[in-house]
Chains A and B, each alone.
Chain A
Amino acid sequence: MKKFLALLLAVAMTLALVACGGNSANNSNSGDADSTGSEGGDTIKIALIANTTGDYAQYGIPVRNGAMLYIDELNANGGINGKQVEVLEYDDKGDGVEAVNAFNLAMDQGITAVIGSVLTSPTITLADATYEVNMPQISASATAQGVTQIDPEDESAGIRTNVFRSCFIDPFQGQTMAHYASEKLGATTAAILYESGSDYSEGCMNGFVEACGELGIEIVATEAFATGDKDFNAQMTKIAAANPDVVFMPFYYSEAGLAITQGRQAGLTATILGADGFGGIKDYASAEDLEGTVYGSGYAPGTESVAQFEADYEETYGEAVPNMFAPLAYDAAMLMCEALKAAEDQGLTAGSDEYKQAVIDTIASMSGVEGITGTYTFDEYNNPEKSVAMIQLQGGEEVFTEFYSFN
């Protein structure tokens, strides 16, 4: 046992050394590259930390691109009160240690705010570091409650007052769908099918169940399946027999397509509700079976508010907007720059404690700020209460119907 422990420690130390030795910053200075005669080199420095390489880079790259698109536009239009925003870019490879290393390097450069990180776990590690020095931070994509709450299980542990996000959290998606079902569909009974063991699915479900309790929607069946299951016949037969008004399915499109098809075969007539994992579901069940299905999404592709962004993104990066992370990052950058502007307006010194506090206070008190993915107001846990883009399946197509927000 002792030998094993010693070995384990040795491995851990080696890994730590490797992690430290790796090139931890991919530091490009795009603020300078674009600087169009800024006044006396007076710039506002911020750090952008995203995993642009490695697994899950398909999330990190759009975040980086979306955020840079906003900041480049801002700088081209004269920056913030004439000052250019200088972005120090770092790649954390999806690793918390790398994220903190990057943050420390950026601190030495005198940054005043952080955009990032992308994946939930490095974002939480990074948030611990930024919280210590009260550095304003915003993530475009980390959906777990633990990003802004120090301990999601224990509310008295408090929140990281300096950390924000532009995406909505999992329970919020469930709450929104419950309110939508009650208000727009007149539902009084609901059933749930969820993926057990998935944080995303269970988070959405908890929010849905909680809101149903408040709204008086009776939950007539709660069924689960395990990751990798393809057969939902038994669950759907049970749900169909309970005959609910709506069925909430917080999981991804391929399983959802199967579950809906099998549910219809079992005689289910209820309206199906989904979360943002439903994006692309139209190819995974027949048009008749899907008709009327509604899901809430982080952004509504092709709509007016994002049309300009989508065109710019494609022009700049040579590919269509790959997923919702790019527009959410654009909004994250926008929110942070709005707050920086407020601090600048107060004439504070960039990097000072008052300056950082002013940035934090500005974001926390934001109310109804227009982004391209929705309207932002922050709640007591620093999570955005924003309108959700409702997408409905009509004749086999995913059609944006409205921006919906409850209360």
Chain B
Amino acid sequence: MSYVFSQAVNALQLGSIYALVALGYSMVYGIILLLNFAHGDIIMVGAYVTYYAMTSFHLHPLVSVVLAVAMCTLLGVVIEKVAYTPLRSAPRLSLLITAIGISFLLENGAQLLFGTDTKSMVQDPLIPGTLTIGDVSITYAALITILVSIVSMVVLTILVQRTKLGKAMRAVSEDMGAAQLMGISLNRTISFTFAVGSALAGIGSVLHVASYFQASPMMGSMLGLKAFVAAVLGGIGSIPGAMIGGFAIGIVETLVTAAGLSTWKDGVVFAILIVVLLLKPTGILGKKITEKV
């Protein structure tokens, strides 16, 4: 019983982080049809900010967390302004290649700035301790990861569905030209989308550091890829889809491992990507887009 419970917690903990990262992918894709491959690396930057804030500057954990999320948000907007805005009317392939370039820039820049070794903050963890009830135990880090992700998703849903800016986002994603004609500022809306997506990545990075207490230059690449699979599985462009996809990938990975097939874990995840793209490219909740001639 406690085994099943522990594995369920593991699945949810992993799934929440995937879901948070997948949301950023999906939102950006939804609005400018760009697969922002630099998104995973924003997590890496957030992890380093948390690490240095805590260990070098000895800031309060809460201050470090706020700083990390703020830095990620800022970085997301700066990347959008510097790298993507000038290419808005360029072919989508150019945008995609630029995104990959930014990803390399961040990864190699981090190696140059912070060194290639893994930074560990295990001696001074962000969220220490374990909660034990009866014969089941759960780390506070896992508990907070799951709770914070759920709260973030609720807030995001309200933001998109109930606010003016959210309405603008949905409008731009539906028809950029028409939205502009209705007086919606494209630049502001797109920047806002990047800011929200990157803030979620920032929250993801803090939770990642809380659970895995390490920062390394390449940590964002695999995480980003898995989150991308999650976004595709849920239906890229769809916010609830990204949440479902993220949790689904977390659950699948844990199930595969629990079944004794841990060697096949990544294989299964990427097989899902192939199967989804072959059978239902729009994903679980994606809308079918009919190309008009």
By a beta-carbon cutoff of 8 Å, the part of chain A in contact with chain B is 196, 223-226, 228-231, 233-235, 237-238, 241, 254, 257-258, 261, 265-267, 283-286
Interface contact B14-A267, CB-CB below 8 Å:
no
Interface contact B213-A238, CB-CB below 8 Å:
no
**Cβ-neighbour of B10 out of A237, A258, A267, A286 (below 8 A):** A237
Interface contact B262-A235, CB-CB below 8 Å:
yes
Interface contact B130-A265, CB-CB below 8 Å:
yes
Q: Identify 17 new A-B residue pairs, CB closer than 8 A, beyond the known A230-B208, A286-B123.
A: A223-B257, A230-B223, A231-B13, A231-B212, A234-B14, A234-B253, A234-B254, A235-B262, A237-B7, A238-B257, A238-B258, A238-B262, A254-B216, A257-B120, A258-B213, A258-B214, A265-B137
Interface contact B122-A286, CB-CB below 8 Å:
yes
Within 8 Å of chain A (Cβ to Cβ): is B185?
Answer: no
Interface contact A284-B257, CB-CB below 8 Å:
no
- List 21 A-B residue pairs with CB atoms under 8 Å apart, sorted by A's residue number: A223-B257, A225-B265, A226-B222, A228-B221, A229-B222, A231-B14, A233-B10, A233-B14, A234-B14, A234-B253, A234-B254, A235-B257, A237-B6, A238-B258, A254-B117, A254-B216, A261-B122, A265-B130, A283-B122, A285-B122, A286-B122
Cα distance A265–B123 when bound, in Å? 15
Contacts of A241 in B (CB 8 A): 3
By a beta-carbon cutoff of 8 Å, the part of chain B in contact with chain A is 3, 6-7, 10-11, 13-14, 117-118, 120, 122-123, 130, 137, 139, 208, 211-214, 216, 218-219, 221-223, 253-254, 257-258, 260, 262-263, 265-266
B interface, over-half SS: helix
- Quote the shortest CB–CB distance from A226 to chain B (angstroms): 5
Interface contact B216-A196, CB-CB below 8 Å:
no
Cα distance A223–B7 when bound, in Å? 15
Contacts of A237 in B (CB 8 A): 3, 6-7, 10, 258
- Quote the shortest CB–CB distance from A392 to chain B (angstroms): 19
Interface contact A234-B10, CB-CB below 8 Å:
yes
- Quote the shortest CB–CB distance from B43 to chain A (angstroms): 11
Interface contact A284-B120, CB-CB below 8 Å:
yes
Contacts of A196 in B (CB 8 A): 263
Interface contact B122-A234, CB-CB below 8 Å:
no
A253's closest neighbor in chain B, by CB? B118
A228's closest neighbor in chain B, by CB? B222
Contacts of B14 in A (CB 8 A): 231, 233-234
Contacts of B122 in A (CB 8 A): 257, 261, 283-286
Given A224-B263, A254-B214, A283-B123 in contact, is the A234-B130 Cβ separation under 8 Å?
no
B211's closest neighbor in chain A, by CB? A231
Interface contact B118-A254, CB-CB below 8 Å:
yes
A285's closest neighbor in chain B, by CB? B122
Interface contact B265-A226, CB-CB below 8 Å:
yes
Contacts of B219 in A (CB 8 A): 228, 230
A283's closest neighbor in chain B, by CB? B120
Contacts of A225 in B (CB 8 A): 262, 265
Interface contact B257-A226, CB-CB below 8 Å:
no
Contacts of B254 in A (CB 8 A): 233-234
Contacts of B216 in A (CB 8 A): 254
Cα distance A145–B265 when bound, in Å? 29
Given A224-B262, A235-B262, A284-B122 in contact, is the A230-B3 Cβ separation under 8 Å?
no
Contacts of A261 in B (CB 8 A): 122, 213
Cα distance A261–B122 when bound, in Å? 9
**Cβ-neighbour of A267 out of B137, B218, B221, B222 (below 8 A):** B137
Cα distance A324–B117 when bound, in Å? 18
The 7 A-B pairs of least Cβ separation, nearest first, read A234-B257, A254-B118, A233-B10, A228-B222, A224-B263, A234-B254, A230-B212
Given A229-B222, A230-B219, A254-B118 in contact, is the A266-B6 Cβ separation under 8 Å?
yes
- Quote the shortest CB–CB distance from B270 to chain A (angstroms): 10
Contacts of B265 in A (CB 8 A): 224-226
Cα distance A258–B253 when bound, in Å? 18
Contacts of B130 in A (CB 8 A): 265
Cα distance A284–B123 when bound, in Å? 8
- Quote the shortest CB–CB distance from A237 to chain B (angstroms): 5
Cα distance A284–B117 when bound, in Å? 11
Cα distance A21–B228 when bound, in Å? 45
Contacts of B212 in A (CB 8 A): 230-231, 258
- Quote the shortest CB–CB distance from B46 to chain A (angstroms): 14
B138's closest neighbor in chain A, by CB? A265
B136's closest neighbor in chain A, by CB? A267
- Quote the shortest CB–CB distance from A228 to chain B (angstroms): 4
Cα distance A222–B17 when bound, in Å? 26
Cα distance A383–B68 when bound, in Å? 51
Cα distance A226–B221 when bound, in Å? 13
Contacts of A233 in B (CB 8 A): 10, 13-14, 254
Cα distance A283–B213 when bound, in Å? 12
- Quote the shortest CB–CB distance from B133 to chain A (angstroms): 14
